[in-house]
Chain A
Amino acid sequence: MKVMVFVKATPDSEAEAPPTPELLNAMHKYNEALIAAGILKDQVLGGLKPTRYAKRVHFSGKNRTVTDGPFTETKELVAGFWLWDVKSIEEAVEWVKKCPNPMYTDSDIDIRPLYSPETWDPV
Chain B
Amino acid sequence: MKVMVFAKATQNTEDGTPPDPEAIQAMHDFNEALIAAGILKDQILGGLLPTQFAKRVHFSGKNRTVIDGPFTETKELVTGFALWEVKSIEEAVEWAKKSPVTTECELDIRPLFTEEDVAAWANLK
**Which A residues form the contact surface with B (CB < 8 A)?**
2, 4, 6, 18-19, 21, 24, 44, 46-49, 51, 53-61, 64, 66, 71, 73, 75-78, 81, 83, 89, 92-93, 96-97, 99, 101, 103, 106-115, 117, 120, 122
A112 near B59: Cβ-Cβ < 8 Å: no
* Interface SS majority for chain B: mixed
**Which B residues form the contact surface with A (CB < 8 A)?**
2, 4, 6, 16, 18-19, 44, 46-51, 53-61, 64, 66, 71, 73, 75-78, 81, 83, 89, 92-93, 96-97, 99, 101, 103-113, 117-118, 120-122, 124-125
A47 near B75: Cβ-Cβ < 8 Å: no
Residues on B with beta carbons closer than 8 Å to the beta carbon of A53 = 89, 110-111
24 CB-based A-B contacts, threshold 8 Å:
A2-B46, A4-B46, A4-B81, A24-B121, A24-B122, A51-B110, A53-B89, A54-B108, A55-B96, A55-B109, A58-B104, A66-B93, A73-B73, A75-B76, A76-B71, A76-B76, A78-B4, A93-B55, A97-B64, A106-B60, A111-B54, A112-B51, A114-B47, A120-B47
